[in-house]
Amino acid sequence: MIECQIKIELDSFILDANFSIPDKGVTVIFGPSGSGKTSLLRVLAGLEKTHNGFLKIGDSIWQDSENFALTHKRQIGYVFQDTTLFEHLNVQGNLDYGIKRSSNIEKEFIDSILNLLDIKTLLNRSTAQLSGGEKQRVAIARALLIKPKILLMDEPLSALDIKRKQEILPYLDALHNDLDIPIIYVTHSPDEASRLADYLLLLDNGKVIGSGPINNMLTRLDLPMSHGREATSLVEAKVISREKEFDLMHLDFPGGEFIVPDNSLPIGSNVRLRVSARDVSLTKEKQIDTSILNIFPAIVDEMVPEGKAQIMVRLKIKEITLLTLITKKSAKNLHLKNGSKVFAQVKSAAILS
Amino acid sequence: MLNEYDISALLVTIKLASITTVILILIGTPIAWWLSQTRFKFKAVIEAIIALPLILPPTVLGFYLLMTLGTNGPIGNFLESLGGSSIAFTFTGLVVGSVIYSLPFVVQPLQNSFSSIGKRPMEVAATLGASGLDRFFTVAVPLARSGFITASVLGFAHTVGEFGVVLMIGGNIPGETGVLSIAIYDHVEAMEYGQAHVLAGGLLVLSFVILLFVYIFNRQFSIMRSD
Amino acid sequence: MTHVGADEIKIAVSSNFYPAMKEIILQYELKNFPSSKDHNIVLIPGSSGKHYAQIINGAPFDIFFSADKVRPILLEKKGISESGSRFTYALGKLVLWSPLDGFVEKEEQLYNQDLRFLAIANPKIAPYGMAAREALISINLWKDMQSKLVRGENIVQTFQFVRSGNAKLGFISNSQLMNPNYPIGGSFWEVPQSLYTPIEQQVVLLKKSILGKDFLSFIESDDSLSIISKYGYDLP
């Protein structure tokens, strides 16, 4: 577990954060611009000095009322928002900087990271000769090569254009899947959060207003993310079979099976599906002659008005939570209330990774 | 054309400028670093004090040095009570005077260079495990390379040109405190205009070449870095 | 070329004579221009070397009071000064001085092994420095004193060196000692004239000026001579 209680006054802003997050997987720190996300990350790194905070990572106490571990003593990897490679060193020099100051970094490990981020061909280049995406990959590699206990990333994609973002996302997915260490990832992009997060820490105005597993956070009706046209839910599923004739795949999840277009992922792959609330409709009886393939029995968990004419409904399909956006009129016609049994029809689902 | 005194003046000048520059880099670097990093409330006061030699007439500085270093002054008295002696009219005295006089010419380029690095590279280095001193030597210093070059050259050149301070506390002792600027002045006073031309002209050309070098180098350097 | 109705003259005067000169001018103005509204005498003190360099490059001085005679002679030779205008206005006297009472009697302190610095004006450029050098040669001390010598660029600076205590002894001009406006005390040895060539301080007229000519004749008058003597110079 990573436990943190920090209250710090920065230039024009008070950060008052009190939370616990898991010490594995990807935790996304999410919130609007100016909510204190970067400041919080810097606090975790020890880049903002506070006197009376508490920070514990696993068994190590990095900060308490008497002690403050300096940044260079905390084993962290930090990827800054604007690329920050050392200009006076080439790529190899940048990578070596951290390695030299860590103990026992094995050659095989170095190799694996270089391969993971695909930068072997860049080693002799000067930093001025790299593209934005390449710089970011080098920065990530540099942070990982020191075998940190935790990887902190501050909006690593925000300075890149769409093309470069698409380029790097697979590498971030790979990090997510291949690394043992926790990753704390700051972003204000719901897409990035949906794609990468296992756990979400929601910030607003310097305060933590919610934390929890990603789908819980996305579907909590008391939080802002579950409202608006972009409201979505995430479902973790596994590829179990294919229908070659129709070019479809079957994805297994606790509530049943999703059928989606085949994208050639091998059987057994874990995938994350994104289901937009607008793509889910409800019926009282199970529809038989319908073009929609993905229909699941569900129970209405909670309902909240959405604007003048709509209602956001949280459904439970076994233990999986899904959001659906329907009209007030439909809710009335279907006599919906908490506990109602219904069928959820999912018109489309996007595979995130 | 040049006599023995002139050559001795040239050597004393080079020796003075070299030693002064080395000392100034050694003491100026931590000062410049501190100024570039600190948010000390009275930072402006310190900066103003350091900048004084930029605008004070050198004779003012020399005058006060003469007073304080002389045996009637506080430092002179102190030194004498320790069994030492006044450092007026000594090479050491000139070094002290030159260090004070050329201080801003070294501190300011260094400070500017350090400031322009910004905090980010140092933070990056910290996350990669570098302690304070380590970060300073392996990141700040290399990135401030042009500042060091400018500071050294300016400090050296400025000391070579020093006149007012040396005039007050030098005593014009050949081989010890007789410097080039005084030699030129003496040639003019003694109506030896030919020799004055040789020395002055040489100094002018040398100074110009040095400054040209610094400006070209700095342009090149910033062009390299701005892509 | 006569300056018709010339009411201003600029006089370059050697620094050591400057105090005496101020009083002479006061006297002159009192005597000749009681109303003193319609003329102006501007005094520019400085080293004679500097003045000379400026004059040969066209500086607009009317009269040049030098600390020596070499420069006036040169100006005359070059035709820059009015011919026949050059004369000696004062004889400088050399003294060995210390600000400490009773320290100096005669030349005995010069033999002191622990002497920390003897200040002289740079013999290459200052007449009093040349005189000091001659005096030291005359008493066979020039070689021995080399390691203890510090050179001031002019006689005023030399004086500063001694007064501030940085040099224990110095050869200065008697006029600095005798300045009635600033009595300086201490102890001194009046160096015998036999030991050095007399310091003939000479003046030349640089421009044909009625006021200038008149002032120069006043310099040789008794009133002026008594002031010159009062300020510690010997009379020519």
Rounded to the nearest 10 degrees, the angle between the axes of helix B180-189 and helix C48-56 is 70
pLDDT bin (cut points 50, 70, 90) of residue C37 is low
CATH 3.30.460.30 fits domain B4-225: no
Q: Tell me how many helices (H) and strands (E) chain C has.
A: 9, 10
pLDDT bin (cut points 50, 70, 90) of residue C155 is confident
- Does the pLDDT value for residue A197 go beyond 80? yes
Residue of A74, A76, A88, A99 for testing the chain B interface, max B β-carbons within 10 Å = A88
Neighbouring subunits of B (3+ Cβ pairs under 8 A)? A, C
Answer yes or no: do C100 and C158 share one domain: yes
- Taking residues B180-206, report their average pLDDT: 87
Q: Contact at 8 Å (CB) between A144 and A113? A: yes
- Taking residues C196-210, report their average pLDDT: 92
Question: Are B227 and A84 a contacting pair at CB < 8 A?
Answer: no
Q: Which residues pair with A209 in a beta bridge?
A: none
pLDDT bin (cut points 50, 70, 90) of residue B173 is confident
The 10s digit of each residue's pLDDT in A154-176 is 998 887 888 878 878 888 888 87
- Does the pLDDT value for residue A200 go beyond 90? yes
Question: Are A87 and B139 a contacting pair at CB < 8 A?
Answer: no
- The C-alpha angle with vertex A168 and arms to A167 and A170, in degrees rounded to 5, equals 90
- At which residue do the structure tokens 């003491």 appear? B27
Question: Are B121 and A146 a contacting pair at CB < 8 A?
Answer: no
Q: What is the CA radius of gyration of chain C?
A: 19
What is the spatial order of strands in the sheet that A54-57 belongs to? A60-63, A54-57, A2-10, A13-21, A207-213, A199-204, A26-30, A183-187, A150-154, A76-79
- Does the pLDDT value for residue A21 go beyond 80? yes
pLDDT of residue B192: 86
Give yes or no for B8 touching C (CB within 8 A).
no
Question: Are C152 and B182 a contacting pair at CB < 8 A?
Answer: no
A46 interaction partners in chain B (CB closer than 8 Å) = 126
Give yes or no for C54 touching B (CB within 8 A).
no
The correct CATH number of A2-219 out of 3.40.50.970, 3.40.50.300, 3.90.230.10, 3.30.450.20 is: 3.40.50.300
The 10s digit of each residue's pLDDT in B59-78 is 888 888 877 776 666 666 66
Q: Which of C115, C104, C173, C125 is nearest to C146 (CA)?
A: C115
The contacts found for C28-32 with CB under 8 angstroms, 24 or more apart, are C28/C215, C28/C218, C28/C224, C31/C218, C31/C223, C32/C214, C32/C218
C38 located within any domain: yes
C2 located within any domain: no
Q: Which of B41, B23, B43, B42 is nearest to B33 (CA)?
A: B43
What is chain B's mean pLDDT, rounded?
Answer: 86
- Taking residues B181-192, report their average pLDDT: 87
Give yes or no for C52 touching B (CB within 8 A).
yes
pLDDT of residue A180: 82
Q: Contact at 8 Å (CB) between A324 and A283? A: no
- The residues in C 120-179 lying below 8 A from B, measured between CB atoms, are 122, 124-126, 149-153, 157, 160-161, 164-167
What range does the domain containing C124 cover? 94-190
Q: Contact at 8 Å (CB) between C208 and C188? A: no
B66 interaction partners in chain C (CB closer than 8 Å) = 160, 164, 166
Answer yes or no: do C44 and C83 share one domain: yes
C150 interaction partners in chain B (CB closer than 8 Å) = 89, 171-173
A145 interaction partners in chain B (CB closer than 8 Å) = none
Q: What are the backbone dihedrals phi and psi of residue B141, each rounded to the nearest 5 degrees, phi first?
A: -65, -50
- Does the pLDDT value for residue B24 go beyond 90? yes
Please give the share of chain A, as a percent, with pLDDT higher than 90: 46
Task: Give the residue with greater pLDDT, C95 vs C39.
Answer: C95
B169 interaction partners in chain C (CB closer than 8 Å) = 166
Residue B155 Cα, gap to closest chain A Cα (Å):
25
Q: Which of A77, A82, A88 sits opposite B127 (nearest CB)?
A: A77
- Taking residues A293-316, report their average pLDDT: 92
pLDDT of residue C36: 52
Question: Are B127 and A70 a contacting pair at CB < 8 A?
Answer: no
Three-class SS of B54-71:
HHCCHHHHHHHHHHHHCC
The contacts found for C105-111 with CB under 8 angstroms, 24 or more apart, are C105/C187, C105/C189, C106/C189, C107/C139, C107/C189, C109/C168, C109/C169, C110/C136, C110/C139, C110/C141, C110/C145, C110/C169, C111/C141
- Does the pLDDT value for residue C42 go beyond 50? yes
Give yes or no for A76 touching B (CB within 8 A).
yes
- Taking residues C136-151, report their average pLDDT: 90
pLDDT of residue B84: 59
Question: Are C150 and B70 a contacting pair at CB < 8 A?
Answer: no
Give yes or no for C116 touching B (CB within 8 A).
yes
In whole angstroms, what is the distance from residue A338 CA to residue C206 CA? 117
Ramachandran region of residue A118, left (φ > 0), alpha (ψ -120 to 50) or beta?
A: left
Q: A323, exposed or middle or buried, with CB in 10 Å at 0-12, 13-18, 19+?
A: buried
pLDDT of residue C1: 38
What are the structural domain ranges in chain A?
2-219, 232-351
pLDDT bin (cut points 50, 70, 90) of residue A288 is confident
Q: What is the SS3 assignment for A50?
A: coil
What is chain C's mean pLDDT, rounded?
Answer: 88
Give yes or no for A47 touching B (CB within 8 A).
yes
Answer yes or no: do C43 and C108 share one domain: no
Q: Which of B120, B123, B227 sits opposite A128 (nearest CB)?
A: B227
In whole angstroms, what is the distance from residue A132 CA to residue C25 CA? 82
Q: Contact at 8 Å (CB) between A203 and A184? A: no
pLDDT of residue A29: 94
CATH at residue C175 = 3.40.190.10
The class (CATH top level) of A232-351 is: mainly beta
Residue of C150, C156, C157 for testing the chain B interface, max B β-carbons within 10 Å = C150
Answer yes or no: do C148 and C112 share one domain: yes
DSSP state of C234: B
- Does the pLDDT value for residue A177 go beyond 90? no
pLDDT of residue C2: 40
C71 interaction partners in chain B (CB closer than 8 Å) = 191
Q: Contact at 8 Å (CB) between A188 and A156? A: no
- Taking residues A64-77, report their average pLDDT: 88
pLDDT of residue A326: 93
- Taking residues A12-28, report their average pLDDT: 87
- Does the pLDDT value for residue C60 go beyond 70? yes
Question: Are B70 and C52 a contacting pair at CB < 8 A?
Answer: no
Give yes or no for A9 touching B (CB within 8 A).
no
Residue of B191, B193, B195 for testing the chain C interface, max C β-carbons within 10 Å = B191
Residue A248 Cα, gap to closest chain B Cα (Å):
47
DSSP E strand boundaries for chain C: 8-14, 40-46, 63-65, 87-92, 94-98, 118-121, 149-152, 169-173, 187-190, 199-205
Q: How many domains does chain C have?
A: 2
B185 interaction partners in chain C (CB closer than 8 Å) = 153
Task: Give the residue with greater pLDDT, A95 vs B75.
Answer: A95
pLDDT of residue B79: 66
Task: Give the residue with greater pLDDT, C3 vs B21.
Answer: B21
pLDDT of residue C173: 92
pLDDT of residue A269: 87
Residue of chain B whose Cα is closest to the Cα of A151: B127
In whole angstroms, what is the distance from residue A329 CA to residue B157 CA? 86
Question: Are B128 and A47 a contacting pair at CB < 8 A?
Answer: no
Question: Are A97 and B128 a contacting pair at CB < 8 A?
Answer: yes
- Does the pLDDT value for residue B41 go beyond 90? no
pLDDT of residue A103: 84
In whole angstroms, what is the distance from residue A246 CA to residue A261 CA? 8
pLDDT of residue B83: 57
pLDDT of residue B224: 53
Q: Which of B210-214, C31-35, C116-120 has the lowest mean pLDDT?
A: C31-35
What are the structural domain ranges in chain B?
4-225
Could you tell me how many residues make up chain C? 236
- Does the pLDDT value for residue A317 go beyond 90? yes
Residue of chain B whose Cα is closest to the Cα of A143: B128
- Does the pLDDT value for residue C3 go beyond 50? no
